[in-house]
Amino acid sequence: MLKEGRYRVDMKISGWLIAIPLTAATSLFAVDELTLRLEPALEAITPDGLLAHIKVLASDEFEGRAPGTKGEELSVNYITISSGKSG
């Protein structure tokens, strides 16, 4: 009986020793895949590009962007067109 209990403990430990590295490897693969998928978007977003969009949206032409105003309409159109360009 004692040997059977020891065998079960050894098998549980062996199972964990196999499961942990497999889980880690799977997680690393998923991160690499996600990074590859997001890389084009991350490269397209630059500090200078963000600043340019902020300057346009904050300009006097957009009249504060309050709901129901010409500024809101301009903002919606600008964001729609800009987001379409980035894919």
What string of pLDDT tens digits covers the 87 residues of the chain?
A: 445 555 555 556 666 667 676 666 666 566 677 778 888 888 888 899 999 999 999 999 888 878 888 999 999 999 999 887 655
The answer to whether the predicted template modeling score (pTM) of the entire model surpasses 0.85 is no
- Per-residue pLDDT tens for 13-37? 666 667 676 666 666 566 677 778 8
Is the CB of residue 75 less than 8 Å from the CB of residue 62?
Answer: yes
Residue holding tokens 């340019």? 52
Residue holding tokens 């499961």? 19
Three-state secondary structure string covering 41-58: HHHHCCHHHHHHHHHHHH
